[in-house]
A and B are shown apart, each in its own frame.
Chain A
Amino acid sequence: MPKVKNEMVRCVVVLSAIALIAGVLLGFFSQLTALTEEDIRLRTEKKIAAIYSLSNLTELEGAEDDNIGGFYKGSNESGDVYVVIATGAGGFGGKVQMYVFIQNDQIVRLGAGSHGETPGTSDKAFSGTHYQKYYGVNILENSFALGGEGENGVDAMTGATYTSTAVNNAVNNAIAYYRANR
Chain B
Amino acid sequence: MQHKKLSQIAVNGLLNENPTFRLVLGMCPTLAVTTSLINGVGMGLATTFVLFCSNLLISLLKNIIPDKVRIPAFILVIATFVTIVEMVMNKYMEGLYQALGLYIPLIVVNCIIFARAESFASVNPVLPSMVDGLSMGLGFTAALAVLGSIRELLAYGKLGGIVLLGEWFPGIAMLGTAPGGFLTLGLCMALFNYVYGRVTEARAHKKQAKAKEENV
Contacts and interface: CB of A to CB of B under 8 A. Distances in A.
B80 A35 contact: no
Interface stretch (A23-31, A70-78, A132-140): A23-31
A39 B76 CA distance: 30
B87 A15 contact: no
A33 B91 contact: yes
A7 interface: yes
B88 A29 contact: yes
B84 A15 contact: no
B202 interface: no
B94 A43 contact: yes
| Interface residue SS majority, chain B | helix
Interface in B54-110: 61, 64-66, 68-69, 72-73, 76-77, 79-80, 83-84, 87-88, 90-92, 94, 98
B90 A11 contact: no
A49 interface: no
Contact of A11 (B61, B66, B80, B177): B66
Contact of A14 (B66, B92, B94, B178): B66
Given A10-B66, A26-B80, A120-B177, A18 B73 contact: yes
A54 to B, nearest CB: 20
A7 B88 contact: no
A33 B94 CA distance: 12
A25 B84 contact: yes
Contacts of A34: 91
Given A33-B91, A35-B90, A120-B177, A22 B80 contact: yes
A60 interface: no
A19 interface: yes
A30 to B, nearest CB: 6
Given A33-B90, A43-B94, A120-B177, A14 B69 contact: yes
Contacts of B80: 22, 25-26
Given A33-B91, A35-B91, A18 B66 contact: no
Q: How large is the interface on B (under 10, 10 to 19, 20 to 34, 35 or more residues)?
A: 20 to 34
A98 to B, nearest CB: 16
A14 B72 CA distance: 11
Nearest to A8: B68
A15, A18, A34 pick with most chain B CB within 10 angstroms: A18
Interface string A105-142: 00000000010000010000000000000000000000
A32 B73 CA distance: 25
Contacts of A11: 66, 68-69
B83 A15 contact: no
A121 to B, nearest CB: 11
A95 to B, nearest CB: 16
Interface of B: 61, 64-66, 68-69, 72-73, 76-77, 79-80, 83-84, 87-88, 90-92, 94, 98, 177-178
Given A11-B66, A39-B91, 15 more contacts: A7-B68, A11-B68, A14-B64, A15-B69, A15-B73, A18-B65, A18-B77, A22-B80, A25-B84, A26-B87, A32-B87, A35-B90, A35-B91, A43-B94, A120-B177
